[in-house]
C-alpha cells in the first residue's frame, strides 16, 4: 500500500505539478487512510472494497482515540485524496476496480464567503502601516497585494522580485497547480510596494542570504504563510476587526467589491485564477445578499 501511495504522489508531483502544500496534505490524508486499512487487515490496494472506503469516511466523522471527529468539509477533503488515489490505481491497471468511485462525499452546509466593507478594508490597511518602520512598510505592501490583487496568502509570500512589474502595473501570481496569471495592480498597491522595495526591503535583505523573495522576515528570509497570517491578524486587532479578518477575507473582499462595482463575473474568474466560473459565481450571492440588505433598510415598502 505504501508503494502505491508513493507512486500516486510522485505522479501528482511530476505529471500534474501539484503544489508542495497539496502533496503534504494528501500525504497526511493517505497515511491516516492506510493506517485505518491496516487495522482492518488490508495491506494491498486490490483488497480494498467500497465498504472499507465507506467505513473510513464514517470513522473520519466520528473520530477515534487518536483523532477528533472531522467536520463534513474536512472529511470531504480527505475523501478527495482517497478517491484520487484509487482512480489512479485503476487507470494504471494496478487494480481492476475503483472501490471509492461510488462513495459520495458528506454534504456540508454552504457558507457565503466573508467579505468586509470597503471602509473596513481601509481601516485595516491604515492599521497595517502604523509608523514608518521597515516592518510597517512591508506589512502595508503585503496587505495591499492581498486585497489589491486578490492574491492567496501562498501566492503573496511566494512572490519573487521579478514577478512584479511596477512600470506596467502588473504582478505575476502562481496559483494552484503552478497555474500562472497576471493581475493588474492599482495605484495604492504600486505605491505601497515601491515604498517597501526602496525603503524597507534592503534592510531586511542585508540580514539574509540573497533570497529573491519580495516579502522578507526579520532574518532576511522569505516571509512564511504563518508570518503573513500574523501580520494580517495584528492589523485586524489594531483596526478593531478582531477575528473577522483572515488573509482569505481580503481575497473574498476583492472579488465581492469588484462585482459590486459592476465587473463581469468571468473577468473576476480570471483575476482570481479559478478554473471554473462556477467557483466564482458564489461571490454573486454575496452581492445579491447585500442588495437585499440595503433594500430592506432603505425602501419604505420593504417591510
Exactly one of 87, 114, 238, 248 is catalytic; which is it?
Answer: 248
Task: Clarify whether 238 is annotated catalytic.
Answer: no
Task: Clarify whether 152 is annotated catalytic.
Answer: yes
Exactly one of 32, 123, 222, 251 is catalytic; which is it?
Answer: 251
206/217 Cα distance (integer angstroms): 11
Exactly one of 26, 33, 147, 283 is catalytic; which is it?
Answer: 283
Integer CA distances (angstroms), 189 to 135, 152, 245, in order: 16, 15, 19
Single out the residue of 273, 276, 293 nearest to residue 285, CA to CA.
293
Write out the H or E segment, with its range, that includes residue 90. helix 72-92
Query: Which grid cell is 130?
Result: 502604523
Phi/psi of residue 146, each to 5°?
-60, -40
List CB contacts of 167: < 8 A, sequence separation 6 or more.
none
Exactly one of 27, 176, 181, 290 is catalytic; which is it?
Answer: 176
Single out the residue of 246, 251, 230 nearest to residue 147, CA to CA.
251
What is the three-class DSSP state of 21? Answer: helix
| Half-sphere exposure at residue 5, Cβ-oriented, CA atoms within 13 angstroms | 19
Exactly one of 140, 152, 190, 222 is catalytic; which is it?
Answer: 152
Single out the residue of 128, 123, 176 nearest to residue 152, CA to CA.
176
89/7 Cα distance (integer angstroms): 9
The length of the chain is: 303
Exactly one of 52, 138, 257, 274 is catalytic; which is it?
Answer: 274
Task: Clarify whether 274 is annotated catalytic.
Answer: yes
Phi/psi of residue 186, each to 5°?
-75, 175
Residues paired with 170 in a beta bridge:
165, 184
Active-site positions?
Answer: 152, 176, 248, 251, 274, 283
Amino acid at each position: 500500500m505504501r508503494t502505491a501511495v508513493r507512486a500516486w504522489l510522485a505522479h501528482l508531483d511530476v505529471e500534474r505539478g501539484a503544489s508542495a502544500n497539496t502533496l503534504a496534505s494528501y500525504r497526511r490524508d493517505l497515511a491516516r487512510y492506510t493506517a485505518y486499512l491496516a487495522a482492518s487487515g488490508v495491506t494491498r490496494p486490490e483488497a480494498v472494497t467500497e465498504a472499507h472506503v465507506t467505513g473510513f469516511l464514517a470513522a473520519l466523522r466520528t473520530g477515534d482515540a487518536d483523532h477528533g471527529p472531522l467536520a463534513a468539509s474536512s472529511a470531504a477533503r480527505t475523501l478527495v485524496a482517497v478517491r484520487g488515489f484509487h482512480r489512479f490505481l485503476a487507470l494504471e491497471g494496478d487494480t481492476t476496480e475503483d472501490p471509492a468511485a461510488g462513495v459520495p462525499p458528506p454534504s456540508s452546509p454552504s457558507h457565503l464567503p466573508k467579505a468586509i466593507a470597503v471602509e473596513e478594508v481601509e481601516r485595516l490597511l491604515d492599521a497595517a502601516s502604523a509608523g514608518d518602520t521597515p516592518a510597517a512598510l512591508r506589512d502595508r505592501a503585503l496587505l495591499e497585494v492581498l486585497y489589491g490583487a486578490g492574491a492567496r496568502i501562498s501566492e503573496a509570500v511566494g512572490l519573487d522580485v521579478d514577478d512584479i512589474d511596477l512600470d506596467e502595473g502588473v504582478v505575476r501570481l502562481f496559483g494552484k497547480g503552478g497555474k500562472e496569471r497576471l493581475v493588474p495592480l492599482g495605484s495604492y498597491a504600486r505605491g505601497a510596494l515601491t515604498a517597501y522595495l526602496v525603503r524597507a526591503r534592503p534592510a531586511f535583505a542585508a540580514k539574509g542570504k540573497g533570497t529573491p523573495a519580495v516579502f522578507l522576515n526579520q532574518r532576511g528570509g522569505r516571509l512564511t504563510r504563518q508570518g503573513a497570517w500574523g501580520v494580517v491578524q495584528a492589523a485586524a486587532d489594531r483596526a478593531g476587526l478582531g477575528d473577522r479578518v483572515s488573509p482569505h477575507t481580503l481575497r473574498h473582499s476583492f472579488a465581492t467589491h469588484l462585482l459590486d462595482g459592476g465587473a463581469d463575473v468571468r473577468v473576476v474568474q480570471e483575476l482570481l485564477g479559478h478554473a471554473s466560473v462556477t467557483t466564482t459565481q458564489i461571490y454573486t450571492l454575496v452581492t445579491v445578499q447585500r442588495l437585499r440588505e440595503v433594500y430592506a433598510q432603505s425602501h419604505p415598502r420593504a417591510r
